[in-house]
Structure 1
Amino acid sequence: MIGKLDLYRIFNIVCQNNSFSDAAKALYMTQPAISQAIMQLEKELGTHLFYRTPKGVTLTNEGKLLHDYVKSALGILEVGEEKILEFQNLTTGELRIGVGDTISRYFLLPYLEAFYTKYPSIKLKVLNGTTSQIVAFIKAGEADVGICNLPVHDEQLHVLPCKDVQDIFVCGEKYANMTRHPISLEFLMKMPLIFLEKNANSRNYVESYLTERGYPISPEFELGSHDLLLEFAKINLGIACVTKEFSTDYLQKGIVHEIQLEEPIPKRSIGICYLQSVPLSRATKKFVELMDHS
């Protein structure tokens, strides 16, 4: 049995051609099949839609009314199909990315540039937050993907590491003598320390490492941005815990100096996070592939 939508498509083609035989040719169907479809539609609607004449068919008043609605409905469906194709071809759509300020500035920007150059019709929306906030964005459906400081432990998320980073301690000129040889964690703990705020995943990683070795921290300063850590170290307010890969400009120019530890902090990763239970859009897949294969 032909479905109701197919009946309306056949009805529309008959209306356009004013002929069952011409409609049959257009649809690659037999004329009896077209006649049967129209009879089925008329039976279901309980009214005649066409006047049959030797020269073809003309619409009844009821048929004219129905045709106005059918044309409109099929037109909307065609637009919807075209929009789906645009999404598939990446000529329209939106990519929502959750990311923190530091990772966005020092890591993500080249990927955004490359993606936008390749897919300029995709609208990019960046949601700013800490790792915990980004995870919340993803789980609430507000972000398609997040770029986070790892580790992230959440059974609902797929986590894909994409770059290793090294946490280090840096200082200004006042403490430059500490850079002559590696120092112990015990000696480091006696210094005024500068860390990110407690809700920062990178701070939690380093703090857990130190605490496991019997060195709970009590920072002199807890700051809201990575750049402030470098600036506070620069003016000799203490020893700052920073990400080496995001501090290269300060280190290369000698604005701050890296302090070597006898027990270097193990590397961690920056990674891509997204929901396991929700299929990625085509735009999100392309973005993840771009970052994963770089």
Structure 2
Amino acid sequence: MALNLHLLRMFVAVSRVGSFSRAAEAMNLSQPALSKGVRDFELQVGCRLLNRSQKGVVPTSEGLALLKHAEDLFAAERAAEEMLSARRDLNNGSLRIGASTTIATYMLAPYLGAFHQAYPGIDLHLVSANTREIAEQMAAQDIDIGLVEGPIEEGVVIAEKWRTDIMKLIVSEHHDFAADKEPIDPQRLGGEVLILREPGSGSREVVTQALAANNIEPLRFLEIGSTAAIKQAVAAGIGVSIVSTVATRDQVRLGYLRTVELRGLTIERTLWRLKLPERTSRPAARAFEELLEDPQIPQP
């Protein structure tokens, strides 16, 4: 029996995200078409591959066994594509870059601009997600370059230091802290609502670890899924936050936000470049990696 690879891709997509609707969106298909494709594939292989419930979709034991072979198969397919691409020069092709949210939004533009100017024939694709999701995409070889803000669990992906980022407390222009001319006692955060990113965000991990190490417990936490939305909430006086200084420069310059120094507490984080040890980088990826280390690229 020859497996239908198109239907196999449908099964893999649903297994990865645990949802027919999300998988259909990712594959640019209608949900009914995807559901029918998976049912047809189960009929072809002669067994149920997915357990469906109101809580989501998970592979059966047979599905898990097939999923491992499918991922190996598609990894080999990508390797073949990369081999062919490596035989071409840098005049055409594509480069897939994955970056966690702050890096993608506030730091990558100078590098993307320099790369496009040097290699205009290469199509650039930028994926923005949190640290955990970017690491998963690198492990699946869905991206060529991975840049993240927080620590990752050890596994097939390794992390190399890229650069250091400074994080500072931000408050609204009307907050009591905004009037302080000197650094404040970090323990004063105990009376504040601290706004954080979602679980899986590198920013969240760095902030919570720094506060815990200094025995600082805010009044309560508010979770918001993007740095841009966090800045809007802080400016509206909903709470305070600790974010990358590169993400707040415009709002601070315009007076909507104020940065406040914390006495005796500096929060720095390492930004990481992800690697797959056994994967040979394509020429476009190697060229972009060289730009990431170029001191002449203007820093945001």
The 1:107–1:215 alpha-carbon spacing in structure 2 relative to 1, beyond 3 Å, is same
What do residues 112-164 of structure 1 show as CA deviations (whole Å, max 9, x unaligned)?
11111111122222222111100000101111111110333435334333332
- Alignment correspondent of 1:152: 152
Q: CA deviation at 1:284?
A: 0.5
Give the whole-Å Cα distance in 1 for the aligned partners of 2:85 and 2:279: 20
Aligned equivalents of 1:232 and 1:264: distance in 2?
A: 24
Structure 1 residue 236: Cα displacement: 1.1
| Residue identity matched to 2:257 | V
Distance 1:226 1:278, change over 3 A: same
Partner residue in 1 for 2:294: 293
Under a length normalisation based on structure 2, what TM-score does the superposition of the two structures give? Answer: 0.65
State the shift of 1:247 in Å.
0.8
Indicate conservation of the 8 Å contact 1:144/1:280, yes or no. Answer: yes
For the residues of structure 1 that align with 2:253 and 2:112, how far apart are their CA atoms? Answer: 26
1:173 corresponds to which residue?
A: 173
Post-superposition, which runs of at least 4 consecutive aligned residues in structure 1 deviate over 6 A? none
Q: Is 1:223–2:224 an aligned residue pair?
A: yes
Q: Percent same amino acid at aligned positions? A: 24
Aligned residues: 213
Q: Deviations over 1:98-125 (max 9, x none)?
A: 1133321210111111111111122222
Query: Where in structure 2 are there 5+ consecutive unaligned residues?
Result: 1-82, 296-300
TM-score scaled by length of structure 1: 0.66
1:245-260 equivalent positions in 2, closer than 5 A: 245-260=246-261
* Residue 106, structure 1, aligned to residue 106, structure 2: yes
Q: 1:121 to 1:191 in 2, by over 3 A?
A: same
| Residue 6 of structure 2: aligned partner | none
Change (3 A) 1:237 1:120: same
Corresponding residue number in structure 2 for 1:161: 161
| Aligned-residue CA RMSD (Å) | 2.3
Indicate if the aligned counterparts of 1:206 and 1:265 stay in contact, CA closer than 8 A: no
* Distance in 1, Cα, partners of 2:279 & 2:86: 21
- Higher Cα radius of gyration: 1
Gaps of 5+ in 1: 1-82
Say yes or no: does 1:196 pair with 2:197.
yes
Give the 3-state SS of the residue equivalent to 1:261 in structure 2.
Answer: coil
Separation in structure 1 between the aligned mates of residue 241 and residue 84 of structure 2, nearest angstrom: 50
Q: Which moved more, 1:151-160 or 1:226-235?
A: 151-160
Q: Distance in 2 between matches of 1:287 and 1:118?
A: 10
Cα distance in 2 between the residues matched to 1:211 and 1:99: 27
Deviations 1:19-67 (A, max 9, x none): xxxxxxxxxxxxxxxxxxxxxxxxxxxxxxxxxxxxxxxxxxxxxxxxx
Contact 2:90–2:121 at 8 Å: present in 1 too? yes
Report what 1:129 is aligned to.
129
